[in-house]
Amino acid sequence: MRHILRRVPTESPVEFDDAHGRVIGVAPDGSIPRGTFYRAGDAVVALYAENDALVLQIAESKFDLTSPGVKLEYWHNWHDGRTTFIASGPSARQQIVYPAWWAELHLNVQDVQFAPERDEEEDVVAYIVATWRDPDAARRLASKWSATSG
């Protein structure tokens, strides 16, 4: 199935092939995005609605963020300036390690350690984790994107 997604933050919508977990091109004019994607290092992380579920996809692995069987983990290695993200579910597990947002901005580690709320603002993957932690927010987002897919 192909999904129309918008790359964070504001680029033109693209077509995303969920069978292969990759962006295949720019979406036709007038396409309405019903999800988003982000490059975290070499990985494409997509978040979209499918059958009223909020789906996180990394490569060919899909995780229903509205399912209780999915677990997400997110942390920074303060010494090497990298972020680790793990998504696991009943039938798949994906781990990605990528440059931390604060390292790419050349910020002082000590300042960032005391402002964890900035993760959600600066790193889409942290926003995905925050959405997963709030089941009502995940359901609202899935409903919003499902409504726009018509």
Q: Is residue 106 in some structural domain?
A: yes
How far apart (Å, rounded) are the C-alpha atoms in residues 54 and 141? 7
Give the residue numbers spanning the domain of 20.
Answer: 2-144
Please name the helix (run of DSSP H) or strand (run of DSSP E) that holds residue 86, with its range, or none.
Answer: strand 82-88
Q: Is residue 150 in some structural domain?
A: no
- Token pair for residue 83? 């972020």
Give the global pTM.
Answer: 0.88
More confident residue, 150 or 118: 118
Q: How many domains does the chain have?
A: 1
* Burial track 111-123 (b if 16+ CB lie within 10 A, e otherwise): ebeeeeeebeebb
Comparing CA positions, the residue from 34, 15, 6 lying closest to residue 150 is 34
Q: Return mean pLDDT, the chain.
A: 89
Q: Is residue 149 in some structural domain?
A: no
Residue 117 in this model has a pLDDT that exceeds 90:
no
